[in-house]
Amino acid sequence: MAQFFSLHPEHPQPRLIRQAAEIMRGGGLVAFPTDSAYALGGLTGDADLLQRIRRLRAVDERHHFTLMCRDLSEIGTFARVDNAQYRLLKATTPGPYTFILEGTRELPRRVLHPKRKTIGLRVPDHPVVAALLAELDEPILTSTLLLPGEDHPLTDAENIRERIGKQVELVIEAGYCGPEATSVIDLTSGTPSLVRAGRGDLAPFGLEK
């Protein structure tokens, strides 16, 4: 059964953040709250991690994984970003958005979309995730915690532990986490394109739900 950490939502305990980071470094899969919904995540270089998330979520290799980054400069390391894309990213991060961008050679090919060579990237606005990213000193490879056949992500940490506690190493609780996933915006074509309407406001992109 997964370990269970209760963290302060604004000032997460450094000791527990360090322990969570060590679990990830050891190949652990973690369920944690973000500024939108709960996510499943671990380290990018762990090949087995992708398969575990795919099995848990029942998605195939065409599913876009999301790389959670600390800031815009880190996004620029892992995705090709032109000036127009950069302006949009700067205006809307951190926040509840996932951006589809072309990945760079810094990323393993297995984490990219097999045909488009794209990946989701985002900078979440959540103190717990920010602390975890700072401790790891690298991005977290994630996917929304949406189980097969369900319309909304899981939101309650205790329920998450009951439902998938044997399939993850750690569940993090840090207060209420809303049920709405990120808005997903494809920026690869020059004009922003809506992939999924979620929590993030679409007005900055000239889009409507």
Question: How many H helices and E strands in the chain?
Answer: 6, 10
Strand (E) or helix (H) holding 56: helix 47-57
Alpha helices (H) in 59-175, listed in sequence order: 72-78, 83-92, 127-136, 157-164
* Predicted local distance difference test score (pLDDT) of residue 176: 87
Q: Which of 137, 134, 139, 146 is nearest to 182 (CA)?
A: 146
Q: Which of 173, 209, 150, 199 is nearest to 35 (CA)?
A: 199
Question: Is the bond preceding residue 94 a cis peptide, omega within 30 degrees?
Answer: yes
| Cβ count near 148 (within 10 Å) | 9
Domains of the chain, each with CATH number or no CATH:
3-201 (3.90.870.10)
Give the CA distances from residue 64 to residues 131, 143, 171, in Å, rounded to whole numbers and listed in that order: 24, 8, 23
Mean pLDDT for back-to-back runs of 10 residues, the chain (209 residues)? 96 98 97 95 90 93 92 93 94 96 92 92 97 97 94 92 97 91 93 94 87
193-196 vs 118-122, strand pairing mode: unpaired
Query: CA torsion, points 139, 161, 56, 168, in degrees to nearest 10?
Result: 50
Q: Look at phi and psi of residue 206 and say left if phi exceeds 0, alpha if psi is from -120 to 50, else beta.
A: left
* Predicted local distance difference test score (pLDDT) of residue 209: 66
